[in-house]
Amino acid sequence: MKVVLKLKKELNKILDLRSLSNLNGKSISTKELCKIKFLYGRRFVSFEEIFSFKLLQDKKI
């Protein structure tokens, strides 16, 4: 499964994306993605506040 991310707003502070590495190789639902929190500057923000996203299935041959 692939996740396509698009920024919703311009970032003015440092966004810590380390929590995304936990998703490698796992299947994930939209609901689970929305629960992920990131450190943005000095506060935690949800995935939905920063990104719009699409989940795409891998094409199998």
Q: How confident is the model at residue 34 (pLDDT cuts 50, 70, 90)?
A: confident
Q: Domain count of the chain? A: 1
Q: Are 38 and 47 in contact (CB under 8 A)?
A: yes
pLDDT at 19: 81
Calculate what percentage of the chain has a pLDDT beyond 70. 97
Is 11 inside a domain boundary? yes
**Domain range for residue 52?**
2-56
- The per-residue pLDDT for 14 is 93
Q: Is residue 61 part of a domain?
A: no
Tell me whether residue 22 is in a domain.
Answer: yes
Assess contact for 36 and 46: CB atoms under 8 A: yes
Find all residues with CB under 8 Å of 48, minimum gap 6, and list them: 34
Please state the rounded mean pLDDT for residues 34-61: 87
* Matching residue, tokens 């992920």: 36
Neighbour tally for 49: CB within 10 Å: 13
